[in-house]
Amino acid sequence: MDIWEANGRSTHIAPHTCNVTGMYLCEGAECGSNGVCDKGGCGWNPYRVNITDYYGKGPQFKVDTTRKFTVITQFPAVNGKLQAIKRMYVQDGKLIESHVVDAPGLPKVDSMTTEFCQATKATKYLELGGNPGMGDALTRGMTLVSPNPFGCHLTTS
């Protein structure tokens, strides 16, 4: 689960599903794009769906990355099954709701739903379980890991 891929100009969420549960070391072809895990994921990125004024450097953006903000990621479920992944922010004490997709051929949704993943052709993600499969993986527990040696402190430079 790539829960926070971002810098001062762009942000991206990309869950990745697998058809193997638990710890597993793949070898050879099973580590590739047609292997046991989805490599591409279903990506949620405002800029990719024609929302160019949502997240970036400066006051012209709804989320101004030159100032401090809080990231909120929600995982709404129905009867224990993950339905969507939703990203919002808080800045200056105000909630900034998720953007609504505005691109031809895509559903006008404010979260990463199965319908959105289908429309963006996240085929492998869907074949390996999609949002319900990702939800199942989350219930087994995950650990936040950062390539930053100083922990998960994020900067927007």
How far, in Å, are 4, 5, 33, 140 from residue 55 at the CA level?
A: 14, 13, 30, 32
- Give the pLDDT confidence of 31-63 residue by residue, as tens digits: 888 888 888 899 999 999 999 999 999 999 999
pLDDT in tens, 64-103: 999 999 999 999 999 999 999 999 999 999 999 999 998 9
More confident residue, 146 or 44: 44
Report the C-alpha gap between 151 and 157 in whole angstroms.
17
What is this structure's pTM?
A: 0.86
| Alpha carbons 6 and 40: distance in angstroms, whole number | 16
The full set of domain ranges for the chain reads 2-139
Closest CA to 106 of 98, 95, 116, 96: 116
Q: 143: burial class by Cβ within 10 Å (0-12, 13-18, 19+)?
A: exposed
Number of neighbouring beta carbons within 10 Å of residue 4: 15
28 φ/ψ angles, rounded to the nearest 5 degrees: 60, -135
In whole angstroms, give the CA distance from residue 3 to residue 14: 7
142 or 13, higher pLDDT: 13
